[in-house]
Amino acid sequence: MCVGDMILCMRTTLDLDDNLFRVLKRQAAERGVTLRALVNDLLRQSLQQPARGKKYRFKWKVAPRGRILPGVKLNDRESLFDLMDGL
C-alpha cells in the first residue's frame, strides 16, 4: 500500500537470475510476505550497512640488512612455494 502509507512508490522491472528468483520466492513464502516486501526489505538492509573499507594491500617491508636471494621472484607464487618446500 504505497499511497496509503504516504510513501511514494516507483514501479520498475528487474531481470533476476532464475535461481535467485526461486530463492527469493521460497524465502518470501517461508516468511509469509510478498516477494515485493522481501526484496524491499533486503535492499533496505543492504543499503543501511556501512560501506566496506578499502581493500587491504600488503606492502613488502625488508629489514635494513635484508635482501632477496638471487633467483627469487616475489611475484611468482609457484616458484616461492618450490623454494619453501626445498625443491
Q: What is the 3-state secondary structure of 6-37?
A: CCCCCCCCCCCCHHHHHHHHHHHHHHCCCHHH
Name the pTM for this structure: 0.51
Residue 17 pLDDT grade (very low, low, confident, very high; cuts 50, 70, 90): very high
Residue 5 pLDDT grade (very low, low, confident, very high; cuts 50, 70, 90): low
Query: What pLDDT does 87 receive?
Result: 56
The whole-angstrom separation of Cα 66 and Cα 31 is 60
Question: Which tens digit of pLDDT belongs to each residue from 24-72?
Answer: 999 999 999 999 999 999 999 999 987 777 788 877 666 666 677 777 7
Q: What is the mean pLDDT of residues 66-86?
A: 77
